[in-house]
Amino acid sequence: MISQEKLTNLLEQTQEVAKVVGSFIRKERQHFDLGKVEHKGFNDLVSYVDKEAEKKIVHALEKILPEAGFITEEGTNTTQAEQFNWVIDPLDGTTNFIHGIPVFAVSIALMEYDEVILGVVYEVNRHECFYAMKGGGAFCNDTKIKVSPAPDLASSLIATGFPYYNFELIDKYLNALKIMMQKTHGVRRFGSAATDLCYVATGRIEGFFEYNLNSYDVAAGALIVQEAGGTVTDFSGGKDYIFGREIIATNTKIQEELTKQIQAIWN
């Protein structure tokens, strides 16, 4: 079991790593060459910036906690450990980055066994560093944050993500959009799940749901939501949201209502 003092130190060091790498990403965006974009799969884009950012993160974290393993998007280091594992998305919102849309973030989480104990999301363009450790509350740039007090879906703004390569569920997504447009203040698609989750945590939106995400998309943001007073589940209301590829995150007050709507569509 890691001590609170060590976890606090790790959180501070991880924030610094995210900010340094975020500065690198921001600088590269200024003269980014579209000709260097690669395809991992259909509409699954990656650039040298993603890869270099991940290398920088892994190199720094190896020094901070040498005994930890890694779960990484770009495969820079895939050696996992029994107790501690860093879960890293070096550039969440790659498509936004490539097209010059200013919503993308660095996401770093630390898991102890199967529990996320530390999360940092650095939104590069707004210079906002969201962070939390287990039991310590959630913060943005040293200011404590909390979820929205909105009491129901009718007074909520909801975010989601759209499928970009697996279109088998496209009809379900369209049905979800129809319902959310009629029952909420509206639906937003920012293009970065890590940022979406932090916006739930800071009360800018009341809920977020998405299917087909990976652990590195959600691990850090999920903890930040929880420490800000929110609730995070999978679509069935269970706890398999890190590796289960589906997530609902809310301000807690609308959790039951939103979950019921999602379940009615997906079941």
* pLDDT tens by residue, 187-199: 999 999 999 999 9
Q: How many Å separate Cα 48 from the centre of its chain?
A: 21
User: pLDDT value at position 43?
Assistant: 41
User: Where residue 42 falls among pLDDT bands split at 50, 70, 90?
Assistant: very low
Q: Pull the structure tokens for residue 175.
A: 């049905």
Provide the mean pLDDT of the chain.
Answer: 93
Q: How many Å separate Cα 229 from the centre of its chain?
A: 17
pLDDT tens digits along 199-253: 999 999 999 999 989 999 999 999 999 999 999 999 999 999 999 999 999 999 9
Q: Is residue 61 a known part of a binding site?
A: no
Q: Is residue 91 a known part of a binding site?
A: yes
**Across 32-58, average pLDDT:** 73
Domains of the chain: 4-144 (3.30.540.10), 153-266 (3.40.190.80)
Q: Give the integer Cα–Cα distance in Å for 196 and 7.
A: 25
Q: Give the integer Cα–Cα distance in Å for 14 and 179.
A: 39
Q: Is residue 73 a known part of a binding site?
A: yes
Q: Is residue 240 a known part of a binding site?
A: no
Tokens 């965006």 correspond to 29
* Residue 73 pLDDT greater than 70, yes or no: yes
Q: Is residue 12 a known part of a binding site?
A: no
User: Where residue 74 falls among pLDDT bands split at 50, 70, 90?
Assistant: confident
Prediction pTM value: 0.95
